[in-house]
Structure 1
Amino acid sequence: MRQQTTKIPVSSIILDETIYPRKGIDHRRVGIFSENIRDGFTFDPIEVELAPDRPNMYRLLDGAHRWNAYKSTGAAEVEAIVKNLEGDDPLLYAAKKAIGPRQLTEEEARDTARRAYTGNSSLSSVDIGKAIGRARRTVDEYIADLRAVKLMDRNIKIFCMHRLGIPQDRMAKRLGMDQKTIHYRLGKMAAPPNSLNSDLSKGFTVAQVAQKHGWTDPMVWSLSLEGKSDRDRFRELGWGLRTWDKWEWNDCDKRFGDEWPGRIPAQLAAHILKYFSKPGDLILDPMAGGGVTPDTCLALDRRCWSFDMIDRLETRPEIEPFTWDTSSGQQLSWPVSSKEKPDLILFDPPYFDKKAADYDEKSISNLPKKEYLEFLETFFVLMKSNVKKKTRLAFINADWRDFQHTPASEEKYKSGILIDDYLDILKRTGWYHTHIIQAPMSSQRFNAGVVSAMQKKNILGVVSRYVIILNQEE
């Protein structure tokens, strides 16, 4: 049955090379087609689909030579079938159509197979082979190295998530794998750590071993520091242990966590873990951001369940996607249902109005002041009902004052959000502080020009930040 066709402008069609299976256009063939068109010959309609992210444009699925011929004759429109592939791989569809007139060359078939597998590793060799006109065994040879890398990549993800104590059912859901496969692979994972430990024993640095094997630094640190005490781990990592209730660092340790708005130093997270948890404890980070907490937990032998609104499966499989939805008017929900409850919650939310432009528009940093504080109150109540009686909370936040625009002498009461406001909310929701630790932000974030302008206007800046440790007992 002939499919429905429509006329679309030649100028609205593009050749997307990412889904074009051939190495180039055969201009001799285009020339022959052009002569046929001028002689009144009618071609089969070309096939297109709507171009992703290009409104009112179409990309070719079949008929690249015919389309070029129509362009060369000055035709304004072309007869086309607009396809909806309904999830089928567009590259493989285009390849299957392309081998109608003539087979793909060996180079084209190999390149198409590798591109298809790279874009979607769930494709089978049989599926790829049918599209490019090659046997399954041939496709296996084309993609053997890619498959090996992908398999190792998945094993690294599984190892990382297992090390952080994420249950296998959640690992399977996160990675799109069968739970039995997760279980099987975990049973076969003695070899990769052994090869890394062998390199470490030969004197290679953690960074060198991580680069060689494609692991992250924190994961290699978790192997390198295995069996050591917290004090020894601090020493190996080059972190001086702060003995008093003022924790101050000029820089974040770039080995732990990604570049992220409002990123806290791993040293800060490590001190919280050192003083208020023990090895093997389960740590919960409900707004994980750049991943400082799970990275630090790897280095200090703590388990960690972490969540964030931005899903980065390829680089951060251990941070599960979850949004604290404040827009629907519905009650907040807890990210995971589990019999096991955290021993410590490390809660470093986006601060009010600080770097709001750098966060996602759904971030609580963008909420009005009243709604921001209401969210925290609702969150603390929800948290209390989803943890153990002995669970501790480490709440990290900073004083907020609109100091950028106001001389110090003109600031008013209630014009900011200070530590007292957070303490009032926490106490009201059944959380009682045992420690208030000063952990000021570095003043180096202000350049000399900004400091000079502040001094001229008599503005008093804010570098205060606090770690408030709480439990549920008065």
Structure 2
Amino acid sequence: MTQQTKQIPVSSIILDEDIYPRKGIDHRRVGIFAENIRDGFTFDPIEVAPCPDKPGLFRLLDGAHRWSAYKSTGIEEVKAIIKDLEGNDPLLYAATKAIGPKQLTEDESRDTARRAYSRDSSLSSADIGKAIGRSRQTVDSYLTDLRASNRMGLDIKIFRLNRLGIPQDRIAKRLGLDQKTIHNHLGEMPALAFLLNGDLSRGFSVSQVAEKHGWTEPMVWSLALEGKNDHDRFKELGWGFCTWDKWEFNDCDNRFGDDWPGRIPAQLIAHILRCFSKPDDLILDPMAGGGVTPDTCLAMGRRCWAFDLMDRPDTRPEIEPFTWDISSDQGLLWPVSAKGKPDLIIFDPPYFDKKAADYDKKSISGLSRKAYLEFLEAFFVLLKQNVKKTTRMAFINADWRDFQNTPAIEEKYKGGILIDDYLDILKRTGWYHTHIIQAPMSSQRFTAGVVSAMQKKNILGVISRYVIVLGQQGLE
């Protein structure tokens, strides 16, 4: 890599989030730097690279906080090292410069590793680890699902969709093939399964077989656990079974589902399946997100139809693209025309306001309180019209209170959405609950600093979450 050092206008420098390894700017740190500048302190030059598509502009590689401080103090020109990266990944180079007094956090390291691998799948774990200051084994854990998804060939996709009970005509449409081709490929599925079952019978672990054949672990689990009852499946998967109505899981099982905003533990989905469905039942996940439900259904021997507004045909072919649009002239529509009707609905929608910035702009999380509740009411009516009378629903949601910076004693009812509000809507639309199961979110999502600040102000945070299980039979 070559470089030159010169004075350049501050206004010619941009912060390109595509190559910035941190989650954001620390404004407290910027304020300290600004004070240092006013006191005459001189910083090392910032590092930049020419923008590939914007002549005359430069992308920051190192010094985002210094650059922000220069802007806030009105400085017009700064000394900068202009790098020619000569084909090296600018994101990983920027990450190497972040291993200083303020290292990348665990979330930032994971995100950087995944972004770098998504841009260039030929990168090794060692190369990425060297850049972000993590071991090769740690990087492997960050990238497991991405690598598995990248290796998913046509036969594996067809096997996966068929295993989840998706009809051949929909498989053909999803993969852009004719139905005869799908039929021919399905004839080869027993041979594919035979190879993997052979390795499993010789004592290879599920993860080893998945790595060898390029399958995802949930697909291999679907073979390894075939014919077993739910109790034995739990035992093989290493999941204890919660007998009572409090299901508390602090960590997600990384074998199931993608790294996704609002990701829920596969153990939670598995408990719902075990308690409220039977093997080979059809499960509907209308907002499937990172795919935890279909992955868990594979391991638990259930069929699953999953939909989401994010279309990922290469990595998540089983999640069919669909947007639940209440604003259309026809109102909410059912996503498929099919004879099959679900035995159980697992509905884990994006929660009101939480992580709204992380979801697609069409997500219901960003709706107003009124619009969010109106959507749910219309959605519950639509479900009732398109499922069997015996169909149950497991609705997963949490209390929402605007507790930020507000002592508990000062909180008002107005603006919140509590479990009572959901229960009122469900009953009004003909859904009657049989169980309310506590499934709290981990308190670990609050950092020690946040907890300390909350304690000083008597702020009461929210980790409540509930699984409300409902049927359509009321008191009559």
Higher radius of gyration, 1 or 2: 1
Partner of 1:62: none
Give the structure 2 partner of residue 239 of structure 1: 239
Post-superposition offset of 1:337: 1.2
Alignment of 1:290-309 (within 5 A): 290-309=290-309
Aligned to 2:320, what secondary structure does the other structure show?
A: strand
Matches for 1:49-88 after TM superposition, within 5 Å = none
Q: For residues 224-281 of structure 1, what are the alpha-carbon distances to aligned partners after superposition, in whole Å with 9 as ceiling and x for unaligned? A: 0011110000000000000000000110000000000001100000000000000000
CA drift of 1:291 comes to 0.2
Per the TM alignment, residue 188 of structure 1 is displaced from its structure 2 partner at its CA by 1.7
Q: CA deviation at 1:326?
A: 3.8
Query: Counterpart in 2 of 1:173?
Result: 173
In the aligned structure 2, how far is the partner of 1:414 from the partner of 1:472? 30
| Residue identity matched to 1:401 | R
Partner of 1:409: 409
Taking the aligned partners of 2:53 and 2:436, their CA distance within structure 1 comes to 53
Whole-angstrom distance in 1 between the partners of 2:53 and 2:390: 54
The aligned runs of 1:170-249 (5 Å cut-off) are: 170-249=170-249
Q: Is 1:282 aligned with 2:282?
A: yes
The AA in structure 1 aligned to 2:301 is D
Aligned residue runs from structure 1 range 387-466, under 5 A = 387-466=387-466
Map of 2:258 onto structure 1: 258
- Cα offset for 1:422? 0.2
CA contact (8 A) 2:152 2:314 kept: no
Corresponding residue SS for 1:235: helix
Query: What value does the CA root-mean-square deviation take over the aligned residues?
Result: 1.8
Structure-1 separation of matches of 2:317 and 2:470: 30
What SS class does the counterpart of residue 385 from structure 1 fall into? helix
Q: Give the letter for the 1:462 counterpart.
A: V
CA 1:470/1:152 → structure 2, altered by over 3 Å: closer, same or farther? closer
Deviations 1:154-210 (A, max 9, x none): 000000000000000000000001101101110122111111111111111111110
1:87-106, CA deviations, whole angstroms, 9 ceiling, x for partnerless residues? xxxxxxxxxxxxxxxxxxxx
Match of 1:368 in 2: 368
Moved over 2 A (4+): 53-56, 326-330
Q: Secondary structure at the match of 2:325?
A: coil
Q: Residue by residue, what CA displacement relative to the aligned partner does 1:435-455 show, whole Å, maximum 9, x if unpaired?
A: 000000000111100000111
* Superposed displacement of residue 405, structure 1: 2.5
CA distance in 2, matches of 1:334, 1:414: 33
Cα distance in 1 for residues equivalent to 2:213 and 2:279: 26
Q: Following the alignment from structure 2 to structure 1, what is the Cα–Cα distance between the partners of residues 446 and 170?
A: 43
Partners of 2:281 and 2:235 lie apart in 1 by 21
Q: Which amino acid aligns with 1:387?
A: V
Aligned residue type for 2:169:
D
For 1:174, give the aligned amino acid. Answer: R
Number of the residue aligned with 1:469: 469
Structure 2: gaps of 5 or more residues = 1-51, 56-149
| Partner deviation per Cα, 1:77-121 (whole Å, 9 max, x = no partner) | xxxxxxxxxxxxxxxxxxxxxxxxxxxxxxxxxxxxxxxxxxxxx
- The amino acid across from 2:171 in the alignment is M
- TM-score between both structures, scaled by the size of structure 1: 0.68
With over 3 angstroms needed to count, the CA separation of the structure-2 counterparts of 1:410 and 1:224, relative to structure 1, is: same
Secondary structure of the residue aligned to 2:169 is helix
Amino acid at match of 2:261: P
Q: TM-score, normalised by structure 2?
A: 0.68
1:14 aligned residue: none
What SS is found at the alignment partner of 1:220?
helix
Look up the equivalent residue of 1:451 and give its one-letter code.
V
Give the letter aligned to residue 336 of structure 2.
V
> Displacement of 1:415 after TM fit?
2.9
Q: 2:156 matched to which residue of 1?
A: 156
Q: Higher mean Cα deviation, 398-407 or 230-239?
A: 398-407
Distance 1:329 1:369, change over 3 A: farther
CA distance in 2, matches of 1:390, 1:293: 21
Distance 1:404 1:329 in 2: 38
Task: Report deviation, 1:329.
Answer: 5.4
**Letter of the 1:345 counterpart:** I
Q: What amino acid does structure 1 have at the position aligned with 2:223?
A: L
Q: Deviations over 1:121-177 (max 9, x none)?
A: xxxxxxxxxxxxxxxxxxxxxxxxxxxxx9981000000000000000000000001
CA distance change for structure 1 residues 275 and 152 in 2, over 3 Å: closer, same or farther? closer
The SS at the match of 2:189 is coil
SS in structure 1 at match of 2:284: strand
How far apart, in 2, do the equivalents of 1:221 and 1:239 lie? 14
Task: Give the residue type in structure 2 aligned to 1:286.
Answer: P
Deviation at 1:413, TM superposition (A): 1.8
What CA distance in whole angstroms lies between the structure 2 residues aligned with 1:459 and 1:212? Answer: 51
Alpha-carbon distance, 1:330 to partner = 4.2
Partner of 1:349: 349
Secondary structure of the equivalent of 2:153?
Answer: helix
CA shift, 1:339, in A, is 1.3
- What SS does the corresponding residue of 1:396 show, helix, strand or coil? strand
In the alignment, the residues of structure 2 paired with residue 329 and residue 251 of structure 1 have an alpha-carbon distance, to the nearest angstrom, of: 42
Identity, % of aligned positions: 78
Residue matched to 1:379: 379
Give the aligned partner of residue 269 of structure 1. Answer: 269
Cα distance in 2 for partners of 1:395, 1:410 equals 30
Q: Could you tell me how far apart the structure 1 residues matched to 2:155 and 2:309 are?
A: 25
Which amino acid is the alignment partner of residue 396 of structure 2? I
Q: 5+ residue gaps in structure 1? A: 1-52, 57-149
